[in-house]
Amino acid sequence: MKIYKLAQLILMSVLGSNVYADLRIDNDFGNKKVIEVSPGRYRIDSFFDKLEDAVLREIAASNEGVAPNNGLGGRDSAHLIWNGVDYYAWAANYLSSAQDRRNEEDVRLKIDRPVIPGGGICAIFLHDKQLKPVASVKIALPENNYGTWCNGTYALGSAGKSIDGLLLTISYYLTGEKPAQRAADIGKGWRHMTVLLRLQKEATGKIRLVQDDRCLGNPNRYEDILSARRALAKCSK
């Protein structure tokens, strides 16, 4: 099990007060257990699967997204210990409710029209030890006047030594452009970016996830955690 301990740093809360954070990140968790429910009958109990179910329920309960019926495509998750408290982070991409309604209408009317901007959502969900929702944030993609479609989350990890927060690598493409005409061309127009997300605690005790683009920029072309971590290290100096 690899646990990366980040140094104690000052986080600025939304109210401007200082919060001292000790953050540790563990990407190796959720091992499955085989449980005998009756003689000769077994079931697999996995905290990892329970966390996925909790995220799916949270997406389905919102008015902004549609949880996929076949589960979440990526399994970018991490166990966080922040100021001695356990949290579980999960990154996912899914379809917006607006795009889902648009798709149904297009099928019903048999029409073909451009994809609506922002139909694809990438987000991070934070749950507590009992898998109750704590905080979430949708990744902001202002490129092309927000005419973007986020279609994948690839890696979730620590921001590195002496830097608080999480790094998430995503893929997206610009809407309004001509779609791929051949299967071999799918993915050629995709862009990859890594964003920094910080944990913040308000005076009320509420936990927030905040996207911080000040160092890495938005858009950026950091295609993996390591390259983004190096860029953040330069900023910190």
Q: How many helices (H) and strands (E) does the chain have?
A: 4, 15
pLDDT in tens, 2-44: 433 333 322 222 222 333 346 777 766 665 555 555 676 655 6
| Cα–Cα distance measured from residue 207 to residue 82, given in angstroms and rounded to the nearest whole number | 11
pLDDT average, residue stretch 126-147: 94
* Residue whose token pair is 């301990």: 5
Structure tokens at 151: 């279609």
Q: Is the pLDDT of residue 114 over 80?
A: no
| Cα–Cα distance measured from residue 205 to residue 83, given in angstroms and rounded to the nearest whole number | 13
Better-scored residue on pLDDT, 14 or 124: 124
Task: Compute φ and ψ for 94, nearest 5 degrees.
Answer: -155, 175
pLDDT for 230 equals: 93
pLDDT in tens, 155-187: 888 887 767 789 999 999 998 766 655 555 555
Is residue 112 very low, low, confident or very high in pLDDT (cuts 50, 70, 90)?
confident
pLDDT in tens, 194-230: 999 998 889 998 999 999 999 999 999 999 999 999 9
* Residue whose token pair is 């610009």: 174
Is residue 139 very low, low, confident or very high in pLDDT (cuts 50, 70, 90)?
very high
pTM of the model: 0.79
8 Å CB contact between 229 and 159: yes
pLDDT for 100 equals: 84
Task: Compute φ and ψ for 99, nearest 5 degrees.
Answer: -70, -35
Q: 84-95 burial string, b = 16+ CB within 10 Å, else e?
A: eeebbbbbbbbb
